[in-house]
Amino acid sequence: MPTAADLIDCLRSSDLLDPAQLDEISAELVSDDPQELVNRLLDRNLLTQFQVDHLLKGRGGELVLGPYRLLELLGEGGMGQVYKAKHRRLQRIVALKVIRRERLSQDPEIIHRFQREAQAAAQLFHPNVVIIYDADQIDGTHFIAMEYVDGIDLARLVFDRGPLPIEQACDYIRQTALGLQHAFEQQLVHRDIKPSNLLVSRLPKATESIPDYGANRWGIVKILDMGLARLVQGMDGQAASFLTQVGTIIGTPDFIAPEQARNSSKVDIRADLYSVGCTFYFLLTGQPPFTEGSVVEKLLMHQLDEPEPVTKLRPEVPEAVAAIIHKLMSKRPEDRFQEPRHLVDALAAVADTLKATATSAVTDSPAAACENGAPPPNADMENTAVVEVTPLPADPTNAQAVKQEKAEEALVPVAGMHVESAEKPKRIAELHGHRGWVLALAFSPDRNRLASAGIDGTICLWGFSSRLPSEQRLPLAHDGEVHAVCFSPDSKLLASASGTIDGKILLWNLEGDYPRQLACLEGHMASVECLAFDPTGQYLASGSSDKTIRVWDLSPQEFNAKIKATYVLKGHTDAVLALTFGEDFRTVLSGGRDGTIRTWNLGRLWGAKSTILQGQSGEICSLCMSGDRRFLASSSVDETVRIWDLPNQQSALLTGHSDVVQKLLFPPEGNRLLSVGNRGQIILWDLETTEKMREWNLGMLVNSAAITHDGRYVAIGKGDGSTAVFRLYPKRKKTDDSN
């Protein structure tokens, strides 16, 4: 548009604004610059940026479809486009689904089916179903106008935040069942229930009236495409969602009922209930019932196999809730709930159990802390959210600093103290930086930094040298999730490991104002699960799902060339999950999914011999060496910890955890061991007596954990993308004679 006058002419012909509005804007212009006109239109919210972009390209005629003015593009897929639009006369905001002409022209019968199905869906009127307002065609363009929902779908919510709190997930399923019951009474079956077809809207403002149909603090669930899935099946030849697939992270085969995979034309509401069960499973675990295999293999799994029990992936899920999911996912339709209302009744019956088992995860979840209690639509997680932050004391470097720290925060002997008398750890920071699970954490040896890595492939560095933690986000260099991070002994390097098949390890230089990538170590043929630096920081060991261990020489001169592994250690029969070094780089200890702990003695001519430590049973989860390199601690899935006296070839078993131990540390203050379990149980052990000295309970699931070298601070990675930092010991009150 060369001039403002040209743009005004385009606006008049496109019918986007009323004539009076155009006259008013035209009278205010002081120049013929089209950008001045654009700025005025945007400032007054008379046009959207989407509309302006079309106008400046001379495509204003595409912004009106019958009585609707298109405001912005919401999504696009194989079936067509979805727009946010406004009805010109009624001034009602709608979601307008415009079907591609070529999809309807493939079969003339499709047009009649489109009209019949849209008419049937328009009969639905329920707060938990997206309402259809209109279905029509203009000049051969068919569209459906339906209720616009300002919110987020459950697939995206779980992807962004991780598994939902139990009570919240149950409420979303209850609302879904209420909507399906209404459809069942109208003799409609959805055939494509899945998280991405369930939208959660915001609640009304506090000053607005709240409907009496069960809306609560987590938002109102709206079923999308109710009654239209069968239409799309006929048009597309497969069970695919009518709405665009943009943003969808889970495909239909993950949620389809066994009988529907065989013959979708004869299924009833019980097929939808099976899909509800799969969705329930997804909301609580963050994954579909069957995670591996091709589409055909997944369809067969729904027919023949049982998924991993939800209580194994999420132990705190009440048995009553797990039983509901199991019943929903019964292979035979007659073994499921026969109507959605029966599911509503079952959830009501366990309401008291849900309230009793509700944990701090509800209040910890960012989704529960939003305005009006409803989840935000694709909220930006880039910024740091901090609550009650206390900076970590600097690591003492001289005698005066040691004296001062001991006066402020000494570790008080608590031998024999029972859990009931132990003071609860203080949460000093809540750090939000990832979308989804935090998979790996590590404190730097100097305690000034915490590295966190997520399933979203991002790595954050949190600084604790000031009152408020600072955040640095490393450049997104990994193509997928990150499974391990590790600091060098001098805190100047960070290693990060890819959780994807590329098996890459990246080295980051942390000196200077901004971290920069130094090198990329390649050689593993599968995901890298663990990393460890030797005591000098010259060597890095990596363990992988390819069953090998690689030891890399990180001498400074090597950074200018491609780094190759000095040693490749083979012997484990399954993935290597834990690593640590002995006295020097020539002794490496490893633990694997095969249940073995191996000690590798590296020769000078690149040879290596290994011996197996006998005694630990089950998959090895963690390894840790004591400061004097005499003792090794190991944990496994059998919920035990074992201490190995390596010089004397003896071991002792520590029992007391009620869950799998994920992290181990030998604090410097004497003969002790600190262990962190998957349910937030932390135990300080006396290694002379093999008894508990102290015990804490954080009351949360632990996706990942890190402990400062002195055992005073613990970081916990959670499923919602946040990291909680706790101080285990209270500050000692200063006395008159303390300095």
Known catalytic residues are 192
The residue assigned the tokens 């279905």 is 135
E-only strand ranges, 322-480: 426-432, 438-443, 449-454, 459-463, 470-473
Distance, in Å, from the CA atom of 535 to the CA atom of 582, rounded to the nearest integer, reads 8
DSSP per-residue string spanning 223-252:
ESSTTTHHHHHHHHSS---SS--TT--S-G
Alpha-carbon 484 to chain mean position: 16
- Alpha carbon of 25 to those of 38, 52, 77: distances in Å? 10, 15, 37
H-state helical runs in 106-243: 108-121, 154-161, 166-185, 229-236
94: which 2 tokens? 């709608």
Distance, in Å, from the CA atom of 384 to the CA atom of 430, rounded to the nearest integer, reads 9
E-only strand ranges, 41-180: 64-65, 68-76, 80-87, 93-99, 132-138, 141-147, 151-153
Distance, in Å, from the CA atom of 306 to the CA atom of 271, rounded to the nearest integer, reads 17
Q: What angle do CA 13, 18, 23 make, to 5 degrees?
A: 90
Bridge partners, residue 521, by sequence: 505
Half-sphere exposure of 19 (CA within 13 A, CB side): 0
Q: For residues 546 and 529, is the Cβ–Cβ distance under 8 A?
A: no
Half-sphere exposure of 569 (CA within 13 A, CB side): 29
Which of these, 595, 588, 589, 590, lies nearest to 574 by C-alpha position? 595
Phi, psi of 258 (to 5 degrees): -55, -45
Which of these, 376, 375, 154, lies nearest to 247 by C-alpha position? 154
Which of these, 252, 283, 271, 249, lies nearest to 173 by C-alpha position? 283
